Structure 1
Amino acid sequence: MGLAHKTEKSIPKNAGELSETVSDVVFRQIRQDIISGILAPGAKIKLEQAKEHYSISVSSLREILSRLAMENLVLAEGQRGFEVSPASRKELEELADLRTVLETHAVALSFEAGTLEWEGRIVAAHYKLAAAERKLLGGDDSRTVDWVRYDWEFHQAIVSACNSTTLMATLSSVFDRFLRYHMLARSFRGKDVADDHRLLFELALKRDVEAARAVIRRHVQSGVDHVLASGRIN
């Protein structure tokens, strides 16, 4: 299964985290390992090995993997166990289409309802994202992990005033599955993606819905093109 590291124990930082179960922590860890490519597409997940690696019982592990199967990140193979979902051009394009539909809809709702606090979230998120992108463009690949986190935080901030928990949760899941393909491509998209983020930032503060939607469509499609150009997806 190619398990290269031990799961780190998380230390609760606030009261809300005190109720988090071991299963919740392991679910998040396995999910992250799939998205980051540590668990490669098509890899068999051997329950006994995974049990030791993630320090959790087999029964809890089965429940976690079943939850991940509902997100199409894992395939359940009946009595044969589980494997990481394969990567394909077809799924990449389907995820791109779905992300575009969800994000452009959420943008319209968010721009209409956004408050001054919403604008503040966008400013803060873009500041961190732009700083990470400058480092990457300067050749500092060590900031890739930061960029992945800040990229989602920025896009999340843009749509965070949409007032729909279901829409946000669905978009988050699709965004992560789309991100898995970028992690498989193993390269930063360069200046064009940073320019898209800066333009989207400016359009959000102007509440220009149609222009922002056009940027999102182009941004997502250029992501698909980048992944396919890497030659790592069939």
Structure 2
Amino acid sequence: MAKRAFFLPDISHELPDDGSDPSRTLTEQTYNRLRQAIIEGQLPPGSKLRIEHLRQQYGVGAGTLREAVTRLVSDALVTAEGQRGFRVTPIAMEDLEELTRLRVLIETEGLRQSMRYGGEAWRQALHSSYAALSAVDYPIRAEQRPHWEALNVRFHEALLNGRPSAWTQKVLRLLSRHSERYRRYAMGLPGLLRDVHAEHREIYELALAGQEARAALALEAHICTTPHLLLQALRDGRLVLPNAHDEVALMPEPLHPPLAE
């Protein structure tokens, strides 16, 4: 039976390496915890961030918390409201469609460039990242999610590293953080069956075979599948995207293992 995987963005690059600056380490940890709470919906879209409450919950000082929140503002996951504080950025299908359009434009062109200019080192790195991704079995447990984030983004970044661009990677990581908020809802759709491992395998094999056009089309289809699934669920009435303090609503159907990009 084919293995299946979620596509989840990497947070490993957010963590400090040497621990030489304890205040920086605490800020990084707080930033990552807040970011994950937003992505998981524990801090719902549109909800107000109450600094004093969060400071006590996370056991950090007000300065540390505000620095972490400021980083989330730069990620566009949090919106500053002038003197009224901060709020989790709302979500909408129009936003996801724009994120998807940008990802397709950047990633497919990046893959084409990578295939044209990447050498043996690129091929070996791509093989290594794909092998690591393929070695993990589905279903994914909650405690495995950070590991999956690293493996999936490592693979997607490896696809583009034949002609590496620091700016491309920065932009794609930002887009990926936002896309993950929507994938959370796709992962909970009843009756959703999807072999994401097969999608990754197709992209990988076409890239190494030098079939540029087909590889780009496979990558585009892979990126677009989750938005298409969510749009269809919205039209069918099986999904309602939440506003502030609302939880996602799903119509009851027979349950199957949920899969998302």
- Normalising to structure 2: TM-score of the pair? 0.73
Separation (CA, whole Å) in 2 of partners of 1:199 and 1:70: 35
Higher RCO structure (Cα 8 Å, ≥6 apart): 2
Q: Does 1:183 align with 2:184?
A: yes
Count of residues paired in the alignment: 218
CA drift at 1:107: 1.0
Other-structure match for 1:71? 75
Unaligned runs of 5+ in 2: 1-14, 243-261
61-70 or 186-195, which moves further after superposition? 186-195
Q: 2:208 aligns with which of 194, 205, 208?
A: 205
Farther off after superposition, 147-156 or 214-223 = 147-156
Q: Distance in 2 between matches of 1:214 and 1:128?
A: 24
Does the CA-based 8 Å contact 1:185-1:232 persist in structure 2? no
2:105 matched to 1:104? no
- Which residue type is aligned with residue 61 of structure 1? L
TM-aligned CA deviation for residue 191 of structure 1: 3.6
Mapped to 2, the partners of 1:219 and 1:76 lie a distance apart of 33
Matched, 1:162 2:163: yes
Q: Give the whole-Å Cα distance in 2 for the aligned partners of 1:225 and 1:34.
A: 23
In structure 2, which of residues 128, 132, 136 is the aligned counterpart of residue 128 of structure 1? 132
Alpha-carbon distance between aligned partners in 2 of 1:166 and 1:33, rounded to the nearest angstrom: 27
Residues 114-153 of structure 1 aligned to structure 2 (within 5 Å): 114-132=118-136, 135-136=137-138, 140-142=139-141, 145=145, 146-153=147-154
CA spacing shift, 1:59–1:127, aligned 2, 3 Å: same
Q: Does residue 225 of the first structure (1) align with residue 225 of the second (2)? A: no
Distance 1:160 1:35, change over 3 A: farther
> Do the aligned residues in 2 keep the contact of 1:37 with 1:184 (CA within 8 Å)?
no
Aligned with residue 214 of structure 1, among 197, 212, 217: 217
2:17 maps to 1:18: no
- Distance apart, 1:29 and its partner CA: 2.6
Q: TM-score, normalised by structure 1?
A: 0.81
Select the structure that is richer in helix.
1
Shift in Å, 1:85: 1.0
Q: Which amino acid aligns with 2:20?
A: L
In 1, Cα distance between the equivalents of 2:163 and 2:204?
Answer: 16
- Counting aligned pairs with the same residue, the percent is 29
